[in-house]
Amino acid sequence: MSISNTPSLLAFLLFVLLISGFEASAGPRRSLLRSLGDGPDLHDAAVDLNSSNFDRVLKESPAAFAVVEFFAHWCPACRNYKPHYEKVARLFNGPDAPHPGIVIMTRVDCAMKMNTNLCDRFSVGHYPMLLWGPPPKFASGKWDPKQGKSEIQSIDDARTADRLLNWINKRVGSSFKLDDEKYENENTLLRNDSDPEQIARAIYDVEEATAGAFDIILEHKMIKSDTQAPLIKFFQLLVTHHPSKRCRRGSAEILVDFDNLWPSDLFSVDSQETNILQERDRLKSYSICGKEVPRGYWIFCRGSKNDTRGFSCGLWVLLHSLSVRVADGESHLAFTAICDFIHNFFICEECRRHFYDMCSSASGPFKTTRDLSLWLWSTHNKVNERLMKEEKALETGDPRFPKVIWPPEQLCPSCYLSSISKRTGTNQVDWNEDEVFKFLVQYYGKTLVSSYKDAILSRNISDELVADDITTSTNAVAVPLAAAMAIAFASCAFGALACFWRTQQKNRKQRKNRG
């Protein structure tokens, strides 16, 4: 480097030092690029859609609202608008977004020939053009500016990032800011004690918890020779009664290939290291709840702090949903499957021990769905009452979502016969258990799955839904041969549909292998 370049180098180094100081003074976790504007290393936050994925992505989105930008890549105004749109998209899209699961920000390039009909569907007459509405309304929908009432509407004031965010804030009833960081300005957190319909969005958190539990099991190598049978029983419960259809399918795909994924020689000491590597390779193609899950964020179960709610909330919702979906004759087998799953695969030692102690002290066997549902509800309240005291003493709870005896009276007034406040800060409630059971069935059954268009409980499943589940799943339930004898009775007890499905799929796979 020549001497003449030295002043330039010194000036550059001084600039870097000044910038570093600016970043440090901006406060913890403040992004330098967020402070200065968009940087070249930031990936696009907005989701690129086209005619092949537009309907599917928006139909399956957990977000309550969607923004679709129609643009053309050759349009100078569109290129200049992109940084503004990206600033807002980073607030809502992806696991690192400050406010995920509320708005999905997307874009469609109308200059691509494959998108011509899609852009015509939404009467795109200028670039960029922004539309707003519920994601399912865009899927297979259309928009015409001349039509009357429509849930899809044009965003008419979005020339800058500030103006677009202000427009969104008015529609959502929020006060988001462009410099919000994660777990800041959480004024739209769901309050599950005030609106029973909000449980419908928990279906996405149930999927997240299911995928998370499976990942933990794999990460900690918890599948051993003595834990295979409990895991298979729980998978069978998921295949038949999980509230999410894609989790039922994903569980079935894993279950049908269980012996191939975890053969008996996997657990031999001599070849354990090699087998672990082979296991990882085999599992790369399996997604228990679909390729989009885990998404990396929570919606109904989102806490106001990073270390509260989330996975434990999603897992509880899953267990409650399973408890109300099983039939009377399956209730005790479901109880055993749930207890054994927590005992063998829940990574929190103290939580696992407490839960299994309550399983061991349960008076059984459970003969009805009501018995199982009320036992799990009572157990959950006992856990909440214990944690309520600990979190209050240690100040470790979520200030926005403190533990409560559930359901609160405003959510189910008929569940309460009387309530007396205790010195410990909790209430002693005289419950109307018939009303509690009705509430649980509605809340964790029909309402939970309503957003997933899967509201028919499996005990009332129709012939059309049976056919749909059989024909649209690549694999279905087939009991692994190595474990079949030990759990044959349990596997068939989770419904006639599951047994029929297992038999058909087993025969189908064998015929395919012979061919």
**Active site positions, annotated:** 75, 78
Residue type, 458: S
The CA distances from residue 73 to 70, 80, 107, 164, 258, in Å, are 10, 11, 11, 21, 47
Query: Exposure pattern of 13-24 as b/e (b: 16+ CB <10 Å)?
Result: eeeeeeeeeeee
CB 304, CB 393: distance < 8 Å: no
SS3 249: helix
Q: SS3 letters for 461-504?
A: CCHHHHHHHHHHCCCCCCCCHHHHHHHHHHHHHCCHHHHHHHHH
Q: Which two tokens stand for residue 399?
A: 């200030």
What residue type is 190 in one-letter code? L
Strands 416-421 and 427-431: antiparallel
Q: CA separation (Å) from 336 to 32, 37, 179, 339?
A: 52, 55, 49, 5
Q: In sequence order, what are the beta bridge partners of 309?
A: 302
Which of 489, 510, 480 has its CA nearest to residue 232?
A: 480
Burial class (CB within 10 angstroms; exposed 0-12, middle 13-18, buried 19+) of 52: exposed
* Three-class secondary structure of residue 70 per DSSP: strand
